[in-house]
Amino acid sequence: MMKNLVIGQSGGPTAVINASLYGAVKAFRESGADGHVLGMINGIEGFLADHVMDLSTDLSDEELELLKLTPAAYLGSCRYKLPADLDSEVYPAIFDNFREMNIGYFLYVGGNDSMDTVDKLSRYAEKIGSDVKFIGIPKTIDNDLVLTDHTPGFGSAAKYVASTVREIVLDASVYQQRSVTIVEIMGRHAGWLTAASRLARKYEGDNPCLIYLPETPFSLEQFYNDLDAAFKKSPNLVVCVSEGIADEGGTFVCEYSDAAKLDSFGHKMLTGCGEVLESFVRDKFGVKVRSIELNVNQRCSGMMVSETDIEEAAMAGAAGVKAVLAGETKKMIAFKRDSDMPYKMHCTPEDVSLICNQEKKFPKEWINAAGNDITDDFSAYALPLIQGEPKRVMENGVPKYLYRK
Amino acid sequence: MMKNLVIGQSGGPTAVINASLYGAVKAFRESGADGHVLGMINGIEGFLADHVMDLSTDLSDEELELLKLTPAAYLGSCRYKLPADLDSEVYPAIFDNFREMNIGYFLYVGGNDSMDTVDKLSRYAEKIGSDVKFIGIPKTIDNDLVLTDHTPGFGSAAKYVASTVREIVLDASVYQQRSVTIVEIMGRHAGWLTAASRLARKYEGDNPCLIYLPETPFSLEQFYNDLDAAFKKSPNLVVCVSEGIADEGGTFVCEYSDAAKLDSFGHKMLTGCGEVLESFVRDKFGVKVRSIELNVNQRCSGMMVSETDIEEAAMAGAAGVKAVLAGETKKMIAFKRDSDMPYKMHCTPEDVSLICNQEKKFPKEWINAAGNDITDDFSAYALPLIQGEPKRVMENGVPKYLYRK
């Protein structure tokens, strides 16, 4: 009997979440299955409000190709956590929609929280004896999902970070006067993306000279000593830090200024750790100092996407369709690495209940003993993920992307 | 008699200042002149300390091609202002160096302040009867030099801003919940670069929905009303502001928080106007709000350079060589636009004394009556400048750039 597939995007945007959507739509079309692919507008939250579009009919082949290279989340996203209690009335509402829309297959592209959604819906289906199948497609620039070698979105974000930091290093080195440039990179709990700044370093002694991740306790005293030592070798220092660096006691560095810093309206200002460290350096060294927050473009830029990442994200979408049509459920498509050089990997479904709500930290053994640099082992791991550049589609001098009006 | 040419880079880095260097080195080689091209390391400041390199012998053809696509300032830069008093002892020191290094021609790539250097050195040469010739090559992302249609560096920065804002617009639109995203763009006194965010808008009603330049007095009250009106049309608003927006009384918006905002070390924090407006919006609207400072990458990124800009920067370097060899002095190479469609321009030397220390503001007639948007006339002006993408040279997944170790 003909069944439709519904797919949604959830959590923060990445450069390749739409490539997974592309891969899924394309694979479903090519599978010969005679249902439609429906897209949830704004994830499960929108789906609850019957907000869907028909991706089988509403996207031309040309638009589908453009979708593959479009960053952010074409369908819109949500941050909606399903209730832990499977007796909640939300579940029957969702499954009523499945019946009404004749849904047999459910794909959800996202990170930790989205995998939690896949897990809960699978368990509810089990509970009520529904035969709807649920598969998660991984997506996060944080690269913090367990049971997968890496996640789609990380490679492009890592390539953007490495390339951007390389350019910041050039920019920071033009004057003779001593200076410190602090680059704050996304990563609240895991340092994967900040570690990618290591790939910007071209020779021994080159910038970035210091890299700090949340996995090592941060101390202002060590930071002072590290900078002092680095100034003996070079006048212009570039330092990369994760937004989530914290001290031995677990206090985030970005919280250091909370007490002192009020805005003109009397409220606490939200400060990044980069700004806190900027003030510290200005105070202690009296040199020119600047902090740069890479901000949302590190996750959503199409300017420096990795072709490897794009292709793998599409592959994950296609693998999700294949798995769900084969009757698999309660799984996430994981990546297994077969070799570094030449780089080879394949997709395999893993139990989503073992993945959701878990966090894969950056390995301690890839951080140097002093806790201020990344080892070459990480480079060997990360380099294959940032290779290749797809041909960009331009319109009037800016990248052409697909959007819902 | 054989004479050498010396060339320096000065002021803030851009994506194409090295393309001008490339154009000059190449043109001098091809001119048949038998001198060498010397590069000042760190501009006139380094030159005073005899710090030069021989660009004729030290750069291979391959390196020269790579130089053309390398952002920032290969020779290093300075922010050194020559004394107004031509009787200062600095001048004989510089001209002694000219004699010792057998310099007959002097090119300086930079903005306002650098043109001041060209002007002063030309006047000193006149005064002492030296036959060294001085020509300025324009360079600034601010596009604020007079007597030239536009400046090398602006096109690439504008393309980066338009492309980046386009991606921020996609990123900011993924959730249903109301939100404001404030993008702070470089431009202390002139709004040219912020205006380029207009090129990110794809249809009537699309983001960025509001654009504020320093050329129009900014008022928080109007800002509130503008946002309030915009929320009636769309839940997700992207607003672009110049770092230098100021109110009717001339106070910079970024100064509003000065009194209240101290860091944990008891010092005043440097805040951008984006952060001030972020607090204001949070206070008044209670919606999700984020401010993004595009920071140094808008001036120094090679990821989204304009091929038109690269070629014109090289052309300006070559035109400088041609002019100086022909005996011109006290001039800056200016761009004259012959037509918009098809876009045509040519180089011509203009009196540098009429250019230095002047500032070309964004035209009032290209700002709408409400002072919160840019007209189509600007798009017609700016679009030709952001066209084309050179083929990027990559190495290990990141852009390959030339650097002095």
CATH number of residue B75's parent domain: 3.40.50.450
- Measured in angstroms, the CA of B320 and the nearest CA of chain A are apart by 23
CA B72 to CA A248: how far, in whole Å?
38
Nearest CB to A280 within list B73, B265, B276: B265
Nearest CB to B269 within list A172, A261, A302: A261
Q: Is B404 domain-assigned? A: no
pLDDT greater than 70 at residue B268: no
Contacts of A300 in chain B (CB under 8 A): 167-168, 170-171
- Measured in angstroms, the CA of A145 and the nearest CA of chain B are apart by 22
Q: Residue B352: name the closest of B94, B193, B130, B125 by CA.
A: B125
Contact with chain B for residue A241, Cβ under 8 A: no
CA B217 to CA B397: how far, in whole Å?
45
For A39, the 3-state DSSP assignment is strand
Average pLDDT score over residue span B228-247: 97
Element (H, E) at B39: strand B37-40
User: A170, B401: Cβ pair inside 8 Å?
Assistant: yes
- Measured in angstroms, the CA of A127 and the nearest CA of chain B are apart by 31
User: A266, B260: Cβ pair inside 8 Å?
Assistant: yes
Same domain, yes or no: B324 and B225: no
For A84, the 3-state DSSP assignment is coil
CA A55 to CA A49: how far, in whole Å?
18
Q: Residue B133: name the closest of B358, B356, B355, B349 by CA.
A: B349
Q: What is the DSSP letter of A75?
A: T
Q: Residue B69: name the closest of B294, B343, B300 by CA.
A: B300
Which chain A residue has its CA at the smallest distance from B294's CA? Answer: A294
- Measured in angstroms, the CA of B29 and the nearest CA of chain A are apart by 26
- φ, ψ of residue A116 in degrees (nearest 5): -60, -40
Nearest CB to A167 within list B172, B302, B394: B302
Residue A258: the pLDDT is 59
State the Cα angle at B289 between A296 and A303, rounded to 5°. 20
Same domain, yes or no: A128 and A181: no
pLDDT greater than 60 at residue A313: yes
What pLDDT band is residue A265 in, cutting at 50, 70 and 90?
low
Count: domains in chain B: 2
Q: Is A314 domain-assigned? A: yes
Same domain, yes or no: B102 and B216: no
Residue A264: the pLDDT is 55
Contacts of A263 in chain B (CB under 8 A): 257, 260-261, 275-276, 279
Contacts of B66 in chain A (CB under 8 A): none
- What pLDDT digit, counting tens, does each position of B88-131 carry? 999 999 999 999 999 999 999 999 999 999 999 999 999 999 99
Handedness of CA A342, A348, A354, A356 (dihedral sign): positive
Average pLDDT score over residue span A282-301: 95
- Residue A221, judged by CB atoms within 10 A of its CB (0-12, 13-18, 19+), counts as exposed
Contact with chain A for residue B234, Cβ under 8 A: no
What pLDDT band is residue A262 in, cutting at 50, 70 and 90?
low
Which chain B residue has its CA at the smallest distance from A399's CA? Answer: B163
- What pLDDT digit, counting tens, does each position of B4-56 carry? 999 999 999 999 999 999 999 999 999 999 999 999 999 999 999 999 999 99
Contact with chain B for residue A263, Cβ under 8 A: yes
Domain closes at, from A280, A299, A318: A299
Contacts of B403 in chain A (CB under 8 A): 170, 173, 202
CA B352 to CA B122: how far, in whole Å?
9
Helix axes A17-31, A307-325, angle to 10 degrees: 40
The alpha carbon of residue A270 and the mean position of all alpha carbons in its chain are separated, in whole angstroms, by 22
Same domain, yes or no: A308 and A295: no
What is chain A's Cα-based Rg? 23
Q: Which residues of A73-89 are buried (b: 16+ CB within 10 A; e: fewer)?
A: bbbbbbebebeeeeeee
Residue B261: the pLDDT is 55
Nearest CB to A260 within list B264, B300, B383: B264
CB pairs < 8 Å spanning A and B? 219
CA B289 to CA B278: how far, in whole Å?
6
State the Cα angle at B73 between B68 and B76, rounded to 5°. 135
Contact with chain A for residue B343, Cβ under 8 A: no
The B residues from 150 to 179 touching A (CB cutoff 8 Å) are 159, 162-164, 166-168, 170-176
Same domain, yes or no: A136 and A188: no
Full residue range of the structural domain in which residue A202 is found: 155-299
DSSP result, B268-321: BPP--HHHHHHHHHHHHH-SEEEEEE-TTHHHH-STT--HHHHHHHHHHHHHHH
Q: Is B373 domain-assigned? A: no
Q: Is A369 domain-assigned? A: no
Q: Which residues of B27-45 are buried (b: 16+ CB within 10 A; e: fewer)?
A: bbbeeebebbbbbbbbbbb
The mean pLDDT value of chain A amounts to: 95
Contact with chain A for residue B202, Cβ under 8 A: yes
Contact with chain B for residue A69, Cβ under 8 A: no
What pLDDT band is residue B376 in, cutting at 50, 70 and 90?
very high
Q: Residue A242: name the closest of A196, A280, A201, A186 by CA.
A: A186
- Measured in angstroms, the CA of A219 and the nearest CA of chain B are apart by 15
HSE at residue A165, side-chain half, CA atoms within 13 A, is 32
Q: Is B366 domain-assigned? A: no
User: B76, A176: Cβ pair inside 8 Å?
Assistant: yes
- What pLDDT digit, counting tens, does each position of A355-389 carry? 998 999 999 999 999 999 999 999 999 999 999 99
Residue A285: the pLDDT is 97
- A210-212 vs A236-242, strand pairing mode: parallel
CA B195 to CA B212: how far, in whole Å?
8
CA A90 to CA B355: how far, in whole Å?
68
- φ, ψ of residue B339 in degrees (nearest 5): -160, 155
Contacts of A257 in chain B (CB under 8 A): 263-264, 269
Same domain, yes or no: B177 and B288: yes
Nearest CB to A171 within list B202, B267, B296: B296
CA B249 to CA B242: how far, in whole Å?
17
Better-predicted residue by pLDDT, A320 or B269: A320
Q: Is A135 domain-assigned? A: yes
User: B167, A267: Cβ pair inside 8 Å?
Assistant: no
Residue A196 belongs to domain with CATH number = 3.40.50.460
Domain closes at, from B299, B322, B349: B299
At residue A33, what is the residue type?
A
The answer for residues whose C-beta is within 8 angstroms of residue B95's C-beta and 6 or more apart is B124, B125, B128, B130, B132
Residue A261: the pLDDT is 55
CA B299 to CA B72: how far, in whole Å?
8
The A residues from 308 to 327 touching B (CB cutoff 8 Å) are none
Contact with chain B for residue A262, Cβ under 8 A: yes
Same domain, yes or no: B258 and B338: no
Average pLDDT score over residue span B380-384: 98
pLDDT greater than 60 at residue A112: yes
User: A389, B387: Cβ pair inside 8 Å?
Assistant: no
Catalytic residue among B34, B54, B87, B142: B142
pLDDT greater than 90 at residue A253: yes
Nearest CB to B301 within list A77, A167, A290: A167
pLDDT greater than 60 at residue B352: yes
Give, in order, the Cα–Cα distances in Å from B269 to each of A260, A280, B293.
11, 11, 16
Average pLDDT score over residue span A348-360: 96
Six-digit token pair at A221?
């005293």
B382 and B195 Cβ atoms separated by less than 8 Å: yes
Domain closes at, from B277, B299, B321: B299
CA A234 to CA A223: how far, in whole Å?
16
User: Bridge partners of A374?
Assistant: A367
Nearest CB to B303 within list A257, A266, A303: A303
CB atoms within 10 A of CB A95: 17
Contact with chain B for residue A90, Cβ under 8 A: no
Residue B291: the pLDDT is 96
Contact with chain A for residue B45, Cβ under 8 A: yes
pLDDT greater than 70 at residue A218: yes
What pLDDT band is residue B1 in, cutting at 50, 70 and 90?
confident
The mean pLDDT value of chain B amounts to: 95
Q: How many helices (H) and strands (E) does chain B have?
A: 13, 13
Catalytic residue among A116, A119, A142, A373: A142
The answer for residues whose C-beta is within 8 angstroms of residue A13's C-beta and 6 or more apart is A71, A72, A73, A77, A296, A299, A300, B170, B171, B174
Q: Is A29 domain-assigned? A: yes
- What pLDDT digit, counting tens, does each position of B298-310 carry? 999 999 999 999 9
The answer for residues whose C-beta is within 8 angstroms of residue B161's C-beta and 6 or more apart is B185, B193, B194, B196, B197, B200, B294, B298
DSSP result, B155-202: HHHHHHHHHHHHHHHHHHTSSSS-EEEEEEES-SS--HHHHGGGGG--
Q: Which of B169, B394, B398, B402 to mutate to test the interface with A (most CBs of A within 10 A)?
A: B398
Residue A1: the pLDDT is 75
B10 and B115 Cβ atoms separated by less than 8 Å: no
Residue B255: the pLDDT is 87
- Measured in angstroms, the CA of A262 and the nearest CA of chain B are apart by 6
B195 and B383 Cβ atoms separated by less than 8 Å: no
Same domain, yes or no: B170 and B309: no
- Residue A259, judged by CB atoms within 10 A of its CB (0-12, 13-18, 19+), counts as exposed
B68 and B314 Cβ atoms separated by less than 8 Å: yes
For B8, the 3-state DSSP assignment is strand
- Measured in angstroms, the CA of B73 and the nearest CA of chain A are apart by 6
What pLDDT band is residue B257 in, cutting at 50, 70 and 90?
confident
Which chain A residue has its CA at the smallest distance from B74's CA? Answer: A174
Q: Is A377 domain-assigned? A: no
pLDDT greater than 60 at residue B369: yes
Q: What order do you get walking across the sheet with A236-242 strand by strand? A: A210-212, A236-242, A179-185, A288-293
Q: What is the DSSP letter of A263?
A: -
A293 and A186 Cβ atoms separated by less than 8 Å: no
Helix axes B307-325, B154-172, angle to 10 degrees: 170
For A76, the 3-state DSSP assignment is coil
User: A167, B389: Cβ pair inside 8 Å?
Assistant: no
What pLDDT band is residue A303 in, cutting at 50, 70 and 90?
very high
Which chain A residue has its CA at the smallest distance from B174's CA? Answer: A76
Give percent of chain B with pLDDT exceeding 90: 93
Which chain A residue has its CA at the smallest distance from B280's CA? Answer: A265
B135 and B106 Cβ atoms separated by less than 8 Å: yes
Region of B43 on the Ramachandran plot (φ > 0 left; ψ -120 to 50 alpha; else beta)? left
Same domain, yes or no: B290 and B306: no
Q: Clarify whether B142 is annotated catalytic.
A: yes
The answer for residues whose C-beta is within 8 angstroms of residue B114's C-beta and 6 or more apart is B10, B11, B43, B108, B136, B139
Residue A20: the pLDDT is 98
Residue A256: the pLDDT is 87
Same domain, yes or no: B17 and B52: yes
- Residue A181, judged by CB atoms within 10 A of its CB (0-12, 13-18, 19+), counts as buried
Least confident of A92-106, B246-260, B278-292: B246-260
Which chain B residue has its CA at the smallest distance from A304's CA? Answer: B303
Same domain, yes or no: A143 and A175: no
The single residue listed with the structure tokens 């060590």 is A222
Same domain, yes or no: A138 and A214: no
CB atoms within 10 A of CB B323: 22
